[in-house]
Amino acid sequence: MSDLDKLREIGSKKFQEQAIWMLNAMWPKDQGKSAEELWNYVELFGSLELENGKEGNDLDELGMHRVFEKIQKQQTMQEMRNHLRKVGVTSFKKISMINFLIFIYGYDLHEVVNAPQGANGAEVEKAKKILEEVTEAFNSAQEKAATAKKAADESKVKASQAKKVADECEIKQTEATKAAEIAKADEEAAIARQKEAQAAEEEVTKALNEVKAQEQAKEDKRKALQKKIETAGLVAKNAAIQELAKLDNEDDLPLRRAKTTLEAAQRKAAKALKIATDAKEKATATAKAAEEAKQAADDAKQAADEAKTQAEQAEAESVAAAEAADQALVDAEQKVAEAEAYLAEQQKKATGAGQGTMWFMQRELDEKKKYMPTRKGGVAKK
Report helix angle 61-70 to 35-48, nearest 10. Answer: 140
More confident residue, 334 or 53: 53
Q: In this predicted structure, what is the pLDDT of residue 377?
A: 52
H or E stretch including 12?
A: none
| CB neighbour list of residue 353: distance below 8 Å, 6 or more residues apart | 24, 25, 27, 28, 115, 116, 117, 118, 119
pLDDT digit string, tens, across residues 251-271: 777 888 888 998 888 899 899
- Is residue 47's pLDDT more than 60? yes
Confidence label for 99 from pLDDT (cuts 50, 70 and 90): very high
> Which amino acid is residue 161, in one-letter code?
Q
Angstrom distance (rounded) from CA 256 to CA 271: 23
pTM of full prediction above 0.75: no
Q: In this predicted structure, what is the pLDDT of residue 257?
A: 86
pLDDT digit string, tens, across residues 15-43: 999 999 999 999 999 999 999 999 999 99
- Is residue 376's pLDDT more than 70? no
Q: Pick the range with the lowest mean pLDDT from 85-89, 115-119, 122-126, 181-185.
A: 122-126
- Is residue 341's pLDDT more than 80? no
Q: Under DSSP, is residue 115 helix (H, G, I), strand (E, B) or coil? A: coil
Query: How far, in whole angstroms, is CA 143 from its chain's centroid?
Result: 20
Angstrom distance (rounded) from CA 158 to CA 70: 48
Angstrom distance (rounded) from CA 34 to CA 104: 12
| Domains in the chain, CATH or no CATH each | 3-140+334-376 (no CATH), 154-328 (1.10.287)
pLDDT digit string, tens, across residues 128-142: 788 778 778 777 877
Q: In this predicted structure, what is the pLDDT of residue 277?
A: 93
Q: Under DSSP, is residue 5 helix (H, G, I), strand (E, B) or coil? A: helix
Average pLDDT over residues 52-72: 96
- Is residue 353's pLDDT more than 70? no
Average pLDDT over residues 178-195: 92
Q: In this predicted structure, what is the pLDDT of residue 218?
A: 80
Q: Under DSSP, is residue 35 helix (H, G, I), strand (E, B) or coil? A: helix
| CB neighbour list of residue 65: distance below 8 Å, 6 or more residues apart | 75, 77, 80
The per-residue pLDDT of the chain, averaged, comes to 87
Nearest residue to 301 (alpha-carbon basis) of 184, 170, 204? 170
Q: In this predicted structure, what is the pLDDT of residue 284?
A: 92
Is 19 exposed, middle or buried, given 0-12, 13-18 or 19+ CB atoms closer than 10 A? buried
- Alpha helix (H) residue ranges in the chain: 3-11, 15-30, 35-48, 61-70, 77-85, 97-105, 109-113, 121-231, 234-249, 253-349, 355-369
Q: Pick the range with the lowest mean pLDDT from 104-113, 120-129, 161-170.
A: 120-129
Burial 337-371 (b: 16+ CB within 10 A, else e): eebbebbeebbeebeebbbbbbbbbbbbbeebbee
Phi and psi angles of residue 74, each rounded to the nearest 5 degrees, phi first: -55, 140
Query: How far, in whole angstroms, is CA 161 from its chain's centroid?
Result: 9
Q: In this predicted structure, what is the pLDDT of residue 347?
A: 64
Q: How does DSSP classify residue 366?
A: H
Q: In the chain, pLDDT over 90 holds for what percent of residues?
A: 42
Q: In this predicted structure, what is the pLDDT of residue 292?
A: 92
Q: Under DSSP, is residue 96 helix (H, G, I), strand (E, B) or coil? A: strand
